[in-house]
Structure 1
């Protein structure tokens, strides 16, 4: 198992991930990073113009994946 981190850049500011998550393969960490990006983009308050980027970094500091958010849903349907 290896630890992966998921820092986020939003509106020109970095939000670091000090804890990270353990995964048995880099592909699983990339899938987790994609899920984080989807969660952010699906937030009704998400601003698509914010230039948000989710990065997947391994425990050695190497960047594995970079996912730039381009869209988002404004206003969810009521439940």
Structure 2
């Protein structure tokens, strides 16, 4: 029977530096939307996905702050 090695990691994982973001412009419901494109076969996929997620969180928080100021 083969034994498996389990490694516990304490703290954040280092994903490396993301590549330069690439965007695609599409029309949705009459509006122009800018989409960030991530290559799943890229060696920096993990870093690119993390950077994309962080950018989405920044945008959502900015929008929420704008809504709260209007209220």
Radius of gyration: which is bigger? 2
More strand, by proportion: 1
TM range (shorter): 0.3 to 0.5
Identify the structure with bigger relative contact order (alpha carbons < 8 Å, sequence gap 6+): 1
TM-score by length of 2: 0.38
TM-score by length of 1: 0.35
More helix, by proportion: 2
